[in-house]
């Protein structure tokens, strides 16, 4: 399901700037691609860490509060954390697919 969403999003995005044949890439370009792959993984982990933190905060608020306003705030944090995690997964997959087209 996530791959379908990524394909729909990619169809609306402009084409990749690295549409050159792989034979034209020099060592510097391959090393830059490796750094970009690592940066993509770090960025995904930052999105994931943020999502987990928001979900954990929301669960703590829901668990330890008895007031309706705090319960709604905790549920909001849980939902927003889930959305942030989903956005991070979609971004990671989309960028990884673009990089694989260039590198391999």
- Give the start-to-end residue ranges of the domains of the chain: 28-103
DSSP 28-97: HHHHHHHHHHHHHHHHHHHHHHHHHHHHHHHHHHHHH--SHHHHHHHHHHHHHHHHHHHHHHHHHHHHHH
List CB contacts of 51: < 8 A, sequence separation 6 or more: 81, 82, 84, 85, 88
- Encode pLDDT of 41-75 as tens digits: 999 999 999 999 999 999 999 999 889 999 999 99
The predicted structure's pLDDT at residue 9: 59
The predicted structure's pLDDT at residue 49: 97
Band the pLDDT of 16: cuts 50, 70, 90: low
CA dist., res. 37 & res. 92, Å (int): 10
Report yes or no on whether pTM surpasses 0.85: no
């Amino acid at each position: 399901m996530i791959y379908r969403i990524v394909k729909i999003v990619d169809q609306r995005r402009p084409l990749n700037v690295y549409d050159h044949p792989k034979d034209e890439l020099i060592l510097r370009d391959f090393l830059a691609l490796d750094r970009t792959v690592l940066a993509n993984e770090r960025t995904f982990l930052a999105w994931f860490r943020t999502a987990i933190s928001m979900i954990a905060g929301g669960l703590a608020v829901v668990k330890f509060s008895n007031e309706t306003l705090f319960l709604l705030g905790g549920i909001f944090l849980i939902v927003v954390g889930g959305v942030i995690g989903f956005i991070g997964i979609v971004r990671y997959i989309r960028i990884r697919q673009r990089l694989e087209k260039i590198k391999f």
